[in-house]
């Protein structure tokens, strides 16, 4: 199931990139010759590469025949098995903590982005921290308030007082 | 030129604010280095907005200091609790942690601190020695060379970075297309703005960097979960200063190993896109294979710590070569640092080397002092830094989200930058998850306008590519690089 979701995500991601490039190519023809030349020099080969990539994402066994699409590092580390976790940046020690769902993380980020966009960051940031720490991280009230107050103080002193960043 | 640069760089160092920036940057770098999952690109991306309004030299010092702090910060958690702070510290765990478990934590930390500081000095010395020759070479660069350099940079990074070559090239082209949004540099007309007033100035580099590297990394951490150390007591250290000095001495008694690993780190660092992790493992495996007691590696051999730490700090000197001389970042951290250069109006490449060497030496001195300071502070604060690893990701993540988005806003005071950072956070996460190298996007974003301007200057000036040997060599190298994925399997098949 996770594999299916992952390959669907992979295809969707490549397809979105392809869509963006097609949009650029389409829009290029509304521009003058000079303005569109270089973007087209970049966008057309990119479009072809994305089509190849999409083909590889949908039918991986077919794509493996094309050397450019093969996920084979040029520099290969011949590591003993016990080192491979660390080589991939995973911690060899400690207890594994389950992650949050992708959708949920992106929703939290979108919520914060909207809050900072619409309100003053000195209001949006502590509000987000309070809600996230209490509802998602399930930290105690004392820890939540302490972290929120500390971060707010740093933002206030650093951005508002020192860098004079205000909401416009 | 060189002496002027050195004196100019030293002159900047004597100001009290600069000393504060150095100390502050080093501490912040160490902190982020010790926290698993948050490496150099994240700390530099988050710090860049804070440098807004600073002089370029002070800003670069702060950023260089944070970079200097990251590498050694990561080794502390690797040694004390078997959790590498950053990927380039991973090999330090193999011998550092077994040493800590048998009560030799201070020996390992002493060795790591010395190897880190001296490794950085070695890498920076190599860079300083090459600089005058490179400056002469760069004088011959013109439009054709700049255009071919952009192609070469994108090609190299596509080849050596994570994922397939196609993904590397797609990511680079994606970065270039982002750079074309806004005002066309030749005609001055608007393009790809879709009637948005925000896009008229194009995508601001800093929010894109914050999104790709800081927010994208944190999303990935939250989604993946991670390891949490339940037992901060593991971070307790036994032994005293005598043990630490024993670790320091171990570097000198294995000086040739240290030199070889530093050299490996510098060379690998100089290859755009390869970065510290490769240098780290190459050096570790080299040390294991060439040492007479190689079979004790992984059981707490101090040589493993020396090899790993000297190479991952020496790589910065090597990475400076392509970054400063050609604007091609040696690693993801240097790619983000290039964003800092751009924010402060500093264009790396021939112009910087020949007209503003002071800045280069400011960067060299910043890295040098930060690495030495980190090692001293690291020895003193190691236990406290290691306890940071016990802070859950769910507490750290919202803090980085908030500082990242406010930082994106602070750079230009445009609310749209917050949205751009948020969107690129999701894109950065997607790229990381599906194996598209984010470094290539930054290269494309920075080199895109240079390549376009060079292309038109070349076209209008009537300069012939064929009469430019350096440009032709770069073109040949690019073709050669891109043919590696085709040629390599053929050669492997032939050799059976």
Q: What percent of chain B has pLDDT over 90?
A: 4
Q: Provide the 8-state DSSP code for A118.
A: H
Q: Identify the pLDDT of residue B233.
A: 46
Q: Residues B82-103: pLDDT tens digits? A: 767 677 777 787 788 788 777 7
ipTM reported for the complex, 2 dp: 0.87
B143 touches chain A (CB under 8 A): no
Confidence class for position B156, pLDDT limits 50, 70, 90: confident
Please check the confidence at residue B235 and state whether its pLDDT lies above 70. no
Q: b vs e for A92-103, b when ≥16 Cβ sit within 10 Å of the residue's Cβ?
A: bbbeeeebbebe
Tally Cβ neighbours within 10 Å of residue B276.
31
Confidence class for position B311, pLDDT limits 50, 70, 90: confident
Please check the confidence at residue B276 and state whether its pLDDT lies above 90. no
Test B82 with A105 for CB contact under 8 angstroms.
Answer: no
**3-class DSSP assignment, residue A95:** strand
Q: Nearest CA of chain A to the CA of B429: how many Å?
A: 10
Which carries the bigger pLDDT value, residue A19 or residue B291?
A19
Please say whether the beta carbons of B168 and B161 come within 8 A: yes
pTM of this structure: 0.80
Q: Nearest CA of chain B to the CA of A72: how many Å?
A: 6
Please check the confidence at residue B26 and state whether its pLDDT lies above 80. yes
Q: Residues A31-56: pLDDT tens digits? A: 888 888 889 999 999 999 999 999 88
Q: Identify the pLDDT of residue B385.
A: 64
What distance in Å separates the CA atoms of residue A157 and residue B237, rounded to the nearest whole number? 36
Which region, left, alpha or beta, applies to residue B492 given φ > 0 means left and ψ of -120 to 50 means alpha? alpha
The residue to which tokens 């002493």 are assigned: B110
Please check the confidence at residue A112 and state whether its pLDDT lies above 80. yes
The residue among A16, A78, A86 with the most chain B CBs within 10 A of its CB, best to mutate, is A86
The residue among B49, B84, B90 with the most chain A CBs within 10 A of its CB, best to mutate, is B90
Please check the confidence at residue B112 and state whether its pLDDT lies above 70. yes
Q: Nearest CA of chain B to the CA of A37: how many Å?
A: 9
Please check the confidence at residue B221 and state whether its pLDDT lies above 60. yes
Here the tokens at position B29 are 């770098």
Q: CA-based Rg of chain A, rounded to a whole angstrom?
A: 23
Test B402 with A128 for CB contact under 8 angstroms.
Answer: yes
CB pairs under 8 A between A and B: 256
Helix (H) or strand (E) segment spanning residue A51: helix A33-58
Test A71 with B163 for CB contact under 8 angstroms.
Answer: yes
Here the tokens at position A55 are 């083909």
Q: Which residues of B touch A163 (CB under 8 A)?
A: 50, 52-53, 410
The residue among A39, A76, A135, A156 with the most chain B CBs within 10 A of its CB, best to mutate, is A39
Burial class (CB in 10 A: 0-12, 13-18, 19+), B165: buried
Q: B35-44, B314-323, B465-474: lowest mean pLDDT where?
A: B35-44
B295 touches chain A (CB under 8 A): no
B225 touches chain A (CB under 8 A): yes
Highest mean pLDDT among B26-35, B84-93, B387-396, B482-491: B26-35
Please say whether the beta carbons of B111 and B306 come within 8 A: yes
Confidence class for position A66, pLDDT limits 50, 70, 90: confident
| Nearest residue on chain A to B180, alpha-carbon basis | A39
| Nearest residue on chain B to A8, alpha-carbon basis | B434
Please say whether the beta carbons of B311 and B123 come within 8 A: no
Please check the confidence at residue B308 and state whether its pLDDT lies above 50. yes
Please check the confidence at residue A76 and state whether its pLDDT lies above 60. no
**3-class DSSP assignment, residue A7:** helix
| Nearest residue on chain B to A114, alpha-carbon basis | B419
Test B398 with A129 for CB contact under 8 angstroms.
Answer: yes
């Amino acid at each position: 199931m996770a594999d299916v979701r992952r390959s669907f995500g992979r295809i969707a991601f490549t397809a979105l990139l392809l869509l963006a490039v097609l949009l650029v190519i389409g829009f290029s023809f509304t521009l003058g010759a000079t303005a569109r030349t270089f973007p087209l020099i970049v966008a057309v080969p990119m479009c072809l590469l994305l089509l190849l990539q999409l083909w590889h994402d949908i039918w991986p066994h077919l794509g493996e025949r094309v050397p450019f699409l093969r996920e084979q590092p040029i520099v290969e580390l011949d590591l003993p098995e016990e080192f491979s976790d660390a080589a991939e940046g995973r911690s060899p020690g400690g207890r594994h903590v389950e992650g949050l769902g992708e959708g949920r993380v992106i929703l939290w980020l979108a919520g914060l982005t909207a809050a900072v966009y619409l309100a003053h960051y000195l209001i949006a940031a502590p509000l987000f921290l309070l809600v996230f720490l209490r509802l998602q991280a399930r930290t105690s009230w004392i820890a939540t308030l302490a972290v929120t107050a500390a971060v707010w103080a740093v933002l206030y002193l650093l951005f508002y007082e020192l860098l004079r960043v205000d909401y416009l | 030129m060189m002496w002027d640069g050195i004196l100019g760089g030293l002159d900047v160092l004597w100001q009290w604010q600069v000393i504060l920036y150095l100390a502050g940057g080093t501490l912040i770098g160490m902190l982020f280095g010790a926290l698993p999952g948050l490496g150099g690109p994240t700390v530099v991306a988050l710090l860049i907005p804070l440098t807004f309004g600073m002089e370029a030299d002070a800003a670069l010092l702060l950023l260089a200091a944070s970079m200097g702090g990251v590498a050694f910060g990561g080794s502390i958690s690797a040694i004390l609790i078997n959790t590498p702070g950053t990927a380039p510290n991973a090999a330090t765990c193999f011998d550092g942690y077994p040493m800590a478990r048998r009560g030799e934590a201070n020996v390992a930390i002493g060795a790591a601190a010395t190897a880190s500081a001296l490794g950085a000095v070695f890498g920076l010395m190599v860079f300083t020695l090459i600089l005058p020759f490179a400056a002469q070479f760069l004088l011959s660069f013109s439009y054709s060379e700049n255009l071919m350099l952009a192609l070469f940079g994108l090609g190299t990074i596509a080849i050596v970075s994570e994922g397939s070559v196609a993904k590397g090239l797609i990511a680079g082209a994606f970065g270039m297309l982002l750079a074309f949004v806004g005002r066309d540099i030749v005609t001055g007309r608007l393009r790809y703005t879709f009637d948005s007033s925000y896009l008229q100035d194009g995508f601001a580099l800093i929010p894109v960097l914050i999104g790709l590297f800081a927010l994208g990394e944190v999303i990935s951490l939250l989604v993946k979960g991670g390891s949490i150390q339940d037992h901060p007591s593991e971070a307790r250290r036994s032994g005293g200063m005598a043990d630490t000095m024993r670790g320091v001495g171990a570097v000198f008694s294995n000086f040739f190993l240290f030199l070889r690993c530093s050299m490996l780190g510098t060379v690998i660092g100089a290859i755009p896109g390869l970065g510290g992790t490769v240098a780290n493992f190459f050096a570790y495996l080299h040390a294991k294979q060439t040492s007479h007691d190689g079979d004790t590696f992984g059981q707490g051999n101090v040589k493993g710590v020396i090899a790993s730490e000297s190479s991952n700090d020496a790589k910065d000197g090597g990475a400076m070569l392509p970054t400063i001389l050609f604007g091609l970042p040696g690693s993801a951290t240097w790619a983000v640092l290039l964003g800092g250069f751009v924010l402060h109006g500093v264009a790396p490449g021939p112009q910087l080397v020949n007209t503003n060497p002071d800045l280069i030496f400011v960067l060299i001195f910043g890295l040098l002092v930060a690495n030495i300071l980190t090692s001293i502070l690291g020895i003193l604060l190691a236990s406290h830094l290691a306890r940071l690893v016990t802070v859950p990701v769910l507490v750290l993540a919202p803090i980085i989200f908030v500082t990242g988005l406010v930082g994106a806003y602070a750079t230009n005071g445009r609310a749209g930058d917050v949205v751009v950072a948020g969107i690129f956070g999701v894109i950065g996460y997607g790229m990381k998850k599906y194996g598209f190298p984010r470094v290539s996007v930054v290269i494309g974003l920075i080199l895109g306008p240079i390549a376009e301007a060079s292309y038109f200057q070349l076209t209008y000036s009537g300069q012939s590519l064929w009469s430019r040997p350096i440009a032709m060599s770069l073109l040949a190298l690019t073709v050669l690089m891109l043919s590696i994925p085709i040629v390599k399997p053929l050669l492997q098949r032939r050799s059976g």
